[in-house]
Structure 1
């Protein structure tokens, strides 16, 4: 009888644990989740003032309120984000050392430049935001829409001047993937950053350029045209704009930011951080901050985020190989 009772108790406990794990975070008993008792540091692997810094600081503010301990941002730039990520990679896996990750320091940068860490050995706690890559055109480009532009580019690809913010950047690889889907090679004109690229696009020295969502301000001011977006579905800021996938399938890429921790982060710590992040991203305050910058809160837990990253690595490895991209 005792054996039967114990077995039933065990089954009931397992069932309860399974059910709790599949409940929304807000429905779980938050008192059972891990919470830090000491200040937490989020490393932003770029200088203050950019989009990634905004994402990190807004998240830190919400987590401070949720946890009741200071969550501070530490800007550690260098090597396209690799220096800051390496700092967290080498830190103690105690939940107090986190960093904002991106394609440049997880899925693209290590393929092109190598990295002083193994990206997929780290603990990718959650995806935070996504945003499209924008295909912009000079205002007087003859092509009226994406389909017409693709038709023209296929006929005379060497005459199309395509700008990006730098060799090996996500916008550059977005262009190369477009080349692959079109079966042609357009003329790539790399710049040292988005600002000089946009200046030349506005001046008519470029025909088109891929940009992150910072390029949207040039569209709303009439200095550039939005030809298409890189995401699989329409962008809420401009729902009438075509997706590249609608003309050149399969094509679906996006900029994203995530939260990463050192390798071997204990499961209970990881779960506690993930739950707090999900709660933070559900708040109107952070959603407004992100939306104003062109980002969409897009929570993805580790269980699905890491397979997402693996697929990204496969895609970008293929693009880098086929386009023979090399970083000096």
Structure 2
């Protein structure tokens, strides 16, 4: 082959490689998409996934099927997607528990920073909710009770290393106390036991809000430094616990190597779904705020969050053995 022919061949190959992902994105999707929820049904991650799945599928022209795969603080479901073919047909709804908080407590079979980022979906504070029979009716009286009887307070979480776990550990650290940690396999089971009075408090995602409205749980505070639009009169934990400021978020990821055009297409359609008034209303009813974020920005956000939680875990000497 002549030098000029070789150059033409290499140029053609390069163009083909560059065009292939774009062509793939144009035809995507041609079959149903799995959206893995790595927690048990009934929690916030599950609720948000189900709100988003149907309208997203309608825009993409293929069903988006929600699949629950709980275990290991959400790591099992995410790992299943991480090991799937990088073609955009397996996605996972992720949260701090399996992306930023959990991975600094115990190793995960996947690298959180090496996944295919698609979009953030929602953002909201965690809700400090208590069983109705707890002898504390507000944040101030709860902190006083906690300081008097720290060993008697049982705090639930969605699993070891989840954001709901580290929120409780951060409170322990900031107040110099030691509540008893009771881990569950997701938010849904934790809320069920809290309503039943089997545990005392829980830093829940916003899926606890309907239970508060129905009088099943008592809302003591929100985890963010700023007020929560859904319940602006509720105080921030930071007003009684210095240095406490946490936000909860959910997003969607794919396997590493998923072509950027496919991820960009998904992110654009997710943004359209979240812009719909009826979707925003459904999210708002369960206490969530729509927060679309494109792939690169979402990846940078997770990197920053990972470093923040690593510092908390090291300061509190938290390990996977809880």
Global fold match (TM > 0.5) = yes
Give the structure 2 partner of residue 46 of structure 1.
38
Give the structure 2 partner of residue 278 of structure 1.
271
**Superposed CA offset, 1:99-151 (max 9, x none):** 21122221122223322211111121110112321112454656564345445
Give the structure 2 partner of residue 60 of structure 1.
53
Question: Is the 8 Å Cα contact of residues 38 and 96 (structure 1) preserved in structure 2?
Answer: no
Distance 1:203 1:117 in 2: 36
Distance 2:72 2:197 in 1: 32
Structure 2 residue ranges without an equivalent (≥5): 1-24
Distance 1:233 1:161 in 2: 26
Distance 2:191 2:78 in 1: 29
Distance 1:310 1:96 in 2: 25
TM-score, normalisation: structure 1: 0.77
**Superposed CA offset, 1:163-183 (max 9, x none):** 12344332221111123333x
Q: How does 1:301-312 map to 2 (within 5 A)?
A: 301-312=294-305
Change (3 A) 1:318 1:68: same
Give the structure 2 partner of residue 116 of structure 1.
109
Q: CA RMSD in A?
A: 3.0
Q: How does 1:47-196 map to 2 (within 5 A)?
A: 49-50=41-42, 51-139=44-132, 145-150=138-143, 153-154=146-147, 156=148, 158=150, 161-165=153-157, 166-182=159-175, 184-192=176-184
Distance 1:90 1:203 in 2: 38
Does residue 287 of structure 1 match 2:280?
Answer: yes
**Superposed CA offset, 1:241-278 (max 9, x none):** 01123443433222221110111333322222211111
1:222 aligned residue (204, 215, 219): 215
Distance 2:206 2:78 in 1: 23
**Superposed CA offset, 1:270-302 (max 9, x none):** 222211111111112322332233322111222
Give the structure 1 partner of residue 17 of structure 2.
none
Structure 1 residue ranges without an equivalent (≥5): 1-32
Distance 1:91 1:201 in 2: 36
Deviation at 1:77, TM superposition (A): 3.5
Change (3 A) 1:302 1:246: farther
Matched position secondary structure for 1:291: helix
Give the structure 2 partner of residue 20 of structure 1.
none
Question: Is the 8 Å Cα contact of residues 63 and 276 (structure 1) preserved in structure 2?
Answer: yes
Change (3 A) 1:137 1:37: closer
Give the structure 2 partner of residue 253 of structure 1.
246
Distance 1:262 1:199 in 2: 33
